[in-house]
Amino acid sequence: MLMQIRGVRKSFQDNTVLRDVNMDLDRGDVVVILGPSGSGKTTFLRCLNFLEQADAGSMELDGVKLDLSKASSKEIAGVRKKTAFVFQNYNLFANKTALENVTLGLTAGRGMGKDEAREIGLRALRKVGLAERADYYPAQLSGGQQQRVGIARAIAVRPDVVLFDEPTSALDPELVGEVLQVMRSLAEEGMTMIVVTHEMKFARDVASHVIFMADGVVVEEGTSEEFFTNPQQERTKKFLKRILPETYEDPAVRI
C-alpha cells in the first residue's frame, strides 16, 4: 500500500466539509474522485498535500505515518517531496518561460543544478508535447498548453503520487481533450494519480478505482466497472442519472 488515509475531517467555521473520509492507494492506481459541487472533493485533495490543514485524520505514505492535523514542517516537506499537485487554474509564473516554470521546483525546491534541471524539464515538456514551446511565456500559450506545462512541472519532480484538482474545468471545451490525453498517457505508463474531475468518460475509461463523495462523506467506491454499471447507493444512482442521462441505465429497472 503506497498511501492510506483514515478519518479525515475538516470544517470551515460552522461548515463541516469533510466527515471521516478514508482512502487507500496502491502504486499505479488511478483513483478518480467524483461528486457534486460542494461535496468536499477538492478540500480532501488539498488536505493530502497540506494546502489545507485537516482538523483530524491520519496519513501513511510509503511507510511513514503522520497526523494530518499536527504534522510538523519536516513531515509536511516529506509529503510534498513524494507528491505533486496540478491546479485547476494552472498557477504558472507569468514572468517565467514554460521551461523555467517546470525547472523552478527542481532548482529552488530541491537544490538541483541548472543543467540537470534543464534536461529533466525538457524531457517533461516533451512528454506533454510542448518541447517546442519551452521558451514561451504563459501569455503566449493556450489554456490547454498552460495546463500541460503544469502537468510537466508536476511530473518533473518524479513524485510517487500526482494530485489533479479538476485539471480541465478552467479550459474551453475544445482544449479539454489535449489535457486528458496527456493524463491517459501518464496512467498507461503507470503513474499513480488521484484525480478530482467531472470528466465522466475519463473516469470510466482510465480509473482503476472510483470514489463518489457527497456532503463530505464517501457515499460509494469501487472499480470503474462496478461504479458505472452497478452502483449500490441511491445517492450514486441519482448522480449518474443526472450527469449521464443518455447512457446510465438503472440496473433495478432493466427488463
The residue-averaged pLDDT of 7-25 equals 96
CA distance 215 to 149: 33
107-123 confidence digits (pLDDT tens):
988 888 999 999 999 99
- The C-alpha torsion from 124 through 144 and 181 to 46, rounded to 10°, is 80
pLDDT of residue 226: 94
pLDDT of residue 138: 97
Rg of the chain in Å (alpha carbons) = 19
The residue-averaged pLDDT of 127-145 equals 97
Calculate the alpha carbon distances from 186 to 16, 50, 145, 182 in Å.
Answer: 34, 24, 16, 6
pLDDT of residue 244: 85
Domains of the chain, with CATH numbers? 3-91+161-244 (3.40.50.300)
253 or 174: which leads in pLDDT: 174
Residue whose grid cell is 432493466:
254
* Average confidence score pLDDT of the chain: 94
pLDDT of residue 109: 80
Q: Is the pLDDT of residue 253 over 60?
A: no
> Which amino acid is present at 214?
A
205-225 confidence digits (pLDDT tens):
999 999 999 999 999 999 999
31-90 confidence digits (pLDDT tens):
999 999 999 999 999 999 999 999 999 999 999 999 999 999 999 999 999 999 999 999
Closest CA to 134 of 102, 105, 164: 102
